[in-house]
Copies of this chain bind each other. A is one copy, B any other.
Amino acid sequence: MAEPEKKTARRRRLPSAERRQEFINKAIDFFAEEGFESSTRGLAKRLGVTQPLLYRYFPSKEDLISEVYETVYVHRLKPDWTEMITDRSQPLEQRLNRFYEVYTDAIFDKTWLRIFLFSGLKGVDINRRYVELLRERIIEPIVDEARHEFGLDPETAKDDELEFAWVMHTGIFYYGVRKLIYEATVLEDKTRMIEDAVAAFLLGLRRKMVGGSGTGPS
């Protein structure tokens, strides 16, 4: 009465290169949701293939994870970010607003943020490299441009100025974390959030660099 029940599952037999990339892409989503401690069997199930097949394409789970990191981080890197910040044909405030609009469009992605946070907690090397890259290509250029704006020597950026830029940057960054990771209620107007942060940053930086209006109401 029961049907013949063909046991052997259909095999799609994709060419190697595509298959490999498909595995990596879906592994990114999988590990971002479940964490890197999740099993290769769970991943294979989601992929619709058997678990040993993964080992045809990656020598070990760790190698697969490395490729996940590499792909995730590399794909978000836009080399023209620095140019957006240093393009003096526009006012600095406008440049920063535009940059953070674009930057947050790139990284405010649930998968990316989770991978970033996971890798940071694990002390993975690529996370450190990314943070260093941020400093070189974003934080330092921002402070340099601000010093230029205020007529100071760009070469002598102070540590507290860089720190101040970090605080603004990570404050904006964490808006995405609160929204997409903690799923908290945030201001829906992202542009407004950025403009307020950038404006306060420049106000505060000018106060630090060239003195100026105090803070108290008196």
What 0/1 pattern do residues 5 to 31 of A give for CB contact below 8 A with B?
A: 000000000000000000000000000
Interface locus among A41-49, A67-75, A81-89, A157-165: A157-165
Known: A162-B187, A182-B120, A203-B207. A167 touches B197 (CB 8 A): yes
Q: Is residue A170 contacting chain B, with contact meaning CB distance below 8 A?
A: yes
Residues of B within 8 A of A121 (CB): 35, 114, 117-118, 121, 181
Assess whether B172 is in contact with A167, with CB atoms less than 8 Å apart.
yes
Residues of B within 8 A of A102 (CB): none
Residues of B within 8 A of A112 (CB): none
Considering residues A93, A123, A197, which has the most beta carbons from chain B within 10 angstroms of its beta carbon?
A197
The chain A residues found within 8 Å of chain B, CB to CB, are 35, 37, 91, 93, 114, 117-118, 120-123, 127-128, 131, 149-150, 159-160, 162-164, 166-175, 177-178, 181-184, 186-187, 189, 192-193, 196-197, 199-208, 213, 215-217
Residues of B within 8 A of A177 (CB): 120, 170
Partner among B167, B168, B182, B215 whose Cβ is within 8 Å of the Cβ of A203? B215
Partner among B118, B173, B189, B208 whose Cβ is within 8 Å of the Cβ of A196? B208
Assess whether B196 is in contact with A164, with CB atoms less than 8 Å apart.
yes
Assess whether B149 is in contact with A167, with CB atoms less than 8 Å apart.
no
Residues of B within 8 A of A168 (CB): 167, 171, 200
Known: A121-B118, A171-B174. A160 touches B208 (CB 8 A): no
Write the nearest CB–CB distance from A103 to chain B, whole angstroms.
Answer: 15
Closest to A217 in B: B149
Assess whether B175 is in contact with A174, with CB atoms less than 8 Å apart.
no
Write the nearest CB–CB distance from A156 to chain B, whole angstroms.
Answer: 16
Assess whether B201 is in contact with A187, with CB atoms less than 8 Å apart.
no
